[in-house]
Amino acid sequence: MNKHAVPTLGTLPVPPPDHRRDDFVSKVVELYRFFSKVAKLCRMLVSGQRSYEFVLSMLDSIITTKDFPVWKTLVMREKFRAAFTYSDTHARLIEYYRRPLSEGGYRVCGPIRLLADDDSVACRFFKEAFKVGKNEVDLVRVSPRSLGFADPKGVKRNAFYARALHFGLEKCWYEVGFALRLAYQDQPCGEWLTIATDTNDLETPSRILRVGRGRRDDPLCIVSSVSFADTLVPIDDEYIFVKPRK
């Protein structure tokens, strides 16, 4: 071999990967994100946008890491995936849930009747049900206590939601409540779960869904109620959030 020959790329030695450097860069990026969040909260506190209580709770959530085990993988309806018209699919979607709930011996309080009679609620359900477009979702059960809240008087719903979203969870859309009610047949007596779906607008009431079962001989229930973002949530009440897949 000619000692003066220029080596080609194929013959050049490849340096081993430097994992220490990669770990260092990853840690620096993580620290940068951490201090960026802290600085943002400090600016909000100084400007009067947020209270000390809110900032302290968010700081507590920033320095805490959590992993939420999947409680139930919910398979959504697999219809309506083709092209559709608003009026046709809207009516079919409501009927898709109303028929098994009304004919299956469930106790329905509010949501199905409202979907049929109230255009605004029906329209909102339709938009929320289709804007995500997922056929399968992973659900987790979360209480304010599990997120670090300890006030026995409860926590405001918007603060509870904000911390859950900070940990990477997502709010549900209305269809999750109806699909969960049909799928969760072995719900134990005395258990009530709230579907974490509403607005964070303090001025606008929003409709939330709960699935539960009372006494031993009581039927499975799905209930809707009006709630505000500043409503106090008992720290042991369990809410259903979506855990996004990575």
Please give the single-letter amino acid code of residue 52: Y
pTM: 0.68
Q: What is the pLDDT of residue 188?
A: 92
R_g (Cα) of the chain, nearest Å: 24
How does pLDDT run across 142-164, given as a tens digit for each residue?
Answer: 999 998 888 899 999 888 988 89
Residue bearing the bigger pLDDT, 123 or 52: 52
Instruction: Classify residue 170 by its DSSP letter.
Output: B
**Of 23-32, 199-208, 210-219, which one has max mean pLDDT?**
210-219
Name the percent of the chain lying above pLDDT 70: 62
Q: Is the pLDDT of residue 9 over 60?
A: no
Helix residue ranges, H only, 76-173 = 86-103, 111-117, 119-131, 157-166
Structure tokens at 211: 């699935």
SS3 category, 104: coil
Average of per-residue pLDDT across 126-142:
71
Instruction: Classify residue 134 by its DSSP letter.
Output: -
Give the closest residue to 111 by CA, choosing from 19, 6, 222. 222
What is the Cα–Cα distance from 245 to 36, expressed in whole angstroms?
25
Structure tokens at 3: 């000692």
Cα angle 148, 149, 155 (rounded to 5 degrees) comes to: 150
Q: Is the pLDDT of residue 229 over 70?
A: yes
* Reported confidence tier of residue 210, pLDDT bands at 50, 70, 90: very high
How does pLDDT run across 76-94, given as a tens digit for each residue?
Answer: 775 554 444 555 566 666 6
Please give the single-letter amino acid code of residue 187: Q
* Reported confidence tier of residue 226, pLDDT bands at 50, 70, 90: confident
Structure tokens at 151: 């006030």
* Reported confidence tier of residue 132, pLDDT bands at 50, 70, 90: very low
What is the Cα–Cα distance from 164 to 138, expressed in whole angstroms?
15
Q: Where are the beta strands (DSSP E) in the chain?
A: 72-75, 107-109, 136-142, 155-156, 192-195, 206-213, 220-227, 232-233, 239-242
Q: In which residue are the tokens 């209480």 written?
A: 143
Residue 47's H or E segment, with its range, is none
